[in-house]
Amino acid sequence: MGNNILLFLSVSLFLTFMLVINGCSETEEEDKNYMYTVTRIDQPIEINAEWNKEPWNNIPSIRLDNHIREEPEPRPEVHVKVSYDDEALYVIFHVQDQYVRCVVEEYFGPVWTDSCVEFFFTPNTDLSEGYFNLETNCIGTALFAFQKERGVGRVDIPESTFKKVKLAHSIPSVVEPEITEPVTWTIEYRLPVEILTKYSDVTQPASGVEWRANFYKIADKTSHPHYLSWALIEHPEPHFHLPEYFGTIVFE
């Protein structure tokens, strides 16, 4: 009888242990599925690069927790929020930064070499169709393109079209020499969905619609370069043009 009880307890403990292990594995797997809910808004947001205002105060943010190569030191603290209405997406980046440099002023210049934030997205769930990359340095200079993959089938979106994007930035002008002290800066823009339809099939934002996306922070030619992302990129070298690592944004 005693041996049977011991056997029963041993089997029970083993099964419990396996359930815990499996549960942990499932949780870890779920944590890798980067997903963000895009809040629907009733009124357009005033685009002025102010982070602390309505309706942003009530909208959850994404934090850029992942990095390529070694952990940057100091590490910028970057949050992003996204919302939408019937006509546009609204995006705001809030960056607590240091060693900020920004010299690119021409549209479609190499903004990624400056202190820069980026929004890459496929306006549906079919990654094979390509993706948009909207890159903005901290003084509001932008680069906007659509491509099938990096450098393949790329279409540079003209500046005349990009002017339909209303954009605001908290740092007013060129930063040179580099700001070595801590500094906080914000980029905010309104991106009309109609702009996208000329270059890609677009699933119109509505409740339950999913797009694929990732968000980045880069500062390639500063004294402290770094490469941050929202969704994890498993690549040994800095490389953001990898849509297979995009997370999912779901419209509320």
Segments forming the whole domain that contains residue 65:
36-251
Residues 6 and 97 in one domain: no
Q: What is the DSSP letter of 196?
A: G
Alpha-helix runs per DSSP H in the chain:
2-31, 159-162
CATH of residue 227: 2.60.40.1190
Per-residue pLDDT at 22: 43
Q: Do 24 and 76 lie in a common domain?
A: no
Q: DSSP readout, 148-191?
A: SBTTBS-EEPPHHHHTTSEEEESS-S-EEEEE-S-EEEEEEEEE
104: left (phi over 0), alpha (psi -120 to 50) or beta: beta
Does one domain contain both 2 and 122? no
List pLDDT tens digits, range 145-173: 999 877 677 999 999 999 999 999 999 99
Please report which confidence band the pLDDT of residue 238 belongs to, taking 50, 70 and 90 as the band edges.
low
Structurally, the chain folds into a number of domains equal to: 2
Residues 99 and 5 in one domain: no
Please list the residues that pair with 251 across neighbouring strands. Answer: 38
- Verify that 9 and 101 share a domain, yes or no: no
Same domain, 164 and 47: yes
The string of pLDDT tens digits covering residues 12-52 is 444 443 433 344 333 333 346 899 999 999 999 999 999 99
Together in a domain, 64 and 182:
yes
Q: Are residues 11 and 41 in the same domain?
A: no
Residues 14 and 54 occupy one common structural domain: no
Q: Which amino acid is at 134?
A: L
State residue 23 phi and psi, 5-degree precision: -65, -40
* Same structural domain, 125 and 244: yes
